A and B are shown apart, each in its own frame.
Chain A
């Protein structure tokens, strides 16, 4: 076993185990049972901001950005800027809305707006989508561990699932938040030191990287605005997919629901946005540098950046950088694994049995479901390794219509039949667009539609259908936030 892997594992055991042990002892001493999904709804500014920022720093930021900047250049940073726009939408819009209503899950919010059946339907689809994300996060944890250890991807993914499950089962969201705070400090310290160190370790420093692109006539790769074609084809598409698909997903909303109050969520924008957005600078720099050095460039976009980090940095710094990367991946895995477990316990079991579950029963059930989710994710990832970015885009497509239905229900009007029709239509279209022969037949008639990803299609269809159907529907209930005060609005939810 490599020394780097041993040290990264030791770091994670100390941080995760130590914090888990401390929180369990504190819970026992106080005699209270902390809600795993909401952490007692008392997260302050620092903890909430960091958790929100790191929840959205997953595999795509760490390895995806290195790969994208290798080919596209600095314009790859628009993937990070898309997440900054997402932070604005969550901190100023969707986050305070769900916190105000006191919901714990997105299906619960749907249920309060559109009735119990809609809650169950959304819960089933939501749990399926987030479970899909868990399997992909397991795979990327495996890629990280495999890059450090040299083990096969399958066994590395199993080890990643074990770490991730241990991370979240010990204390739920409260523990994840504390670990995030520690990891954020380690991650940022390590990437800043690494970026400065690389300035000396690269053959001609960072200026050599600039000169390489200028000499090769590829100066546009040094600019965050790239070329007009790339701005339209890459940047706009990234903003579109990220904002509509992620602004109402369970992981981000779980963080919002744990905040002390709405003010904390709004203020956190100024901390969460830079923490999340600036992380991308380091992988983009690494990808750009790796493409200029033949030794790494010949490994191809997927491996060049990761190999450069391991080869050019000293062991102690590689350990810190990898521990920080693994921390970001583990955090995303933890929030993703917690989401289907919470939905299952609260929306599928708790909402459908007489009297609901007690807090102890709910905590036990969530913990058991996390074990099952982690085990299934490990087993599936051991045998299958689908393309991560394509799979994530496909999964996001299922969530895009929820954004429009929720915003309409909160501020315009509510009608269960309309909400049901929009969701089911989008999901059917999503399935149809995933079947090759059907997509090819449509593209043959409308060649322009070839560029549309599933998430774009479901977002456009949901937007148009929501506007049209609500404009013509006759019997609808008033919007949730149509009352003159917040209290009346919350009370008025049917």
Chain B
């Protein structure tokens, strides 16, 4: 695969991974009675 495209896809995956982890942490703290 083209190197530039590969780097772009890797960065996209990493960014969405961070966002999903952030959302999960936020939902978990809500589930356990934290900030709404």
The reply to whether B18 and A207 contact each other, CB–CB distance below 8 Å, is no
Distance from A411 Cβ to chain B, minimum over Cβ atoms (Å): 7
Point out the residue from B5, B10, B22, B36 that lies within 8 Å of A486, measured CB to CB: B36
A270-B19 contact, Cβ under 8 Å, with A77-B11, A92-B26 = yes
List B residues 3-36 near A (Cβ within 8 Å). Answer: 3-5, 7-8, 10-12, 14-16, 18-19, 21-23, 26, 35-36
Number of A residues near B (Cβ < 8 Å) is 32
Q: In chain A, what residue has the closest Cβ to B15?
A: A277
Alpha-carbon distance A17/B18, docked complex (angstroms)? 38
Question: Which residues of A have CB within 8 Å of B19?
Answer: 84, 87-88, 269-270, 273-274
The reply to whether B14 and A273 contact each other, CB–CB distance below 8 Å, is no
The reply to whether B3 and A274 contact each other, CB–CB distance below 8 Å, is no
Say what secondary structure dominates the interface of chain A. helix
Question: Which residues of A have CB within 8 Å of B7?
Answer: 74, 77, 222, 224, 281, 284-285
Q: In chain A, what residue has the closest Cβ to B13?
A: A224
Alpha-carbon distance A411/B15, docked complex (angstroms)? 28
Distance from B9 Cβ to chain A, minimum over Cβ atoms (Å): 10
Question: Which residues of B have CB within 8 Å of A273?
Answer: 15, 18-19
Point out the residue from A84, A206, A270, A411 that lies within 8 Å of B2, measured CB to CB: A206
The reply to whether A88 and B22 contact each other, CB–CB distance below 8 Å, is yes
Chain A 82-96 near chain B by CB (<8 Å), digits 1 or 0? 001101110010000
Alpha-carbon distance A206/B26, docked complex (angstroms)? 39
The reply to whether B2 and A207 contact each other, CB–CB distance below 8 Å, is yes
The reply to whether A269 and B22 contact each other, CB–CB distance below 8 Å, is yes
Point out the residue from B2, B5, B14 that lies within 8 Å of A81, measured CB to CB: B14
Alpha-carbon distance A277/B16, docked complex (angstroms)? 10
Distance from B32 Cβ to chain A, minimum over Cβ atoms (Å): 14
Alpha-carbon distance A486/B35, docked complex (angstroms)? 10
Interface residues of A (CB under 8 A from B): 74, 77, 80-81, 84-85, 87-89, 92, 195, 198-199, 206-207, 209-210, 222, 224, 269-270, 273-274, 277-278, 280-281, 284-285, 411, 481, 486
What are the 7 tightest A-B residue pairs by CB atom distance, in nearest-first order? A88-B22, A277-B15, A206-B3, A210-B3, A206-B4, A92-B26, A84-B18
Q: Known A-B contacts: A74-B7, A222-B3. Give 9 more (CB < 8 A).
A: A85-B22, A88-B23, A199-B2, A269-B22, A274-B16, A277-B15, A281-B7, A281-B8, A285-B4
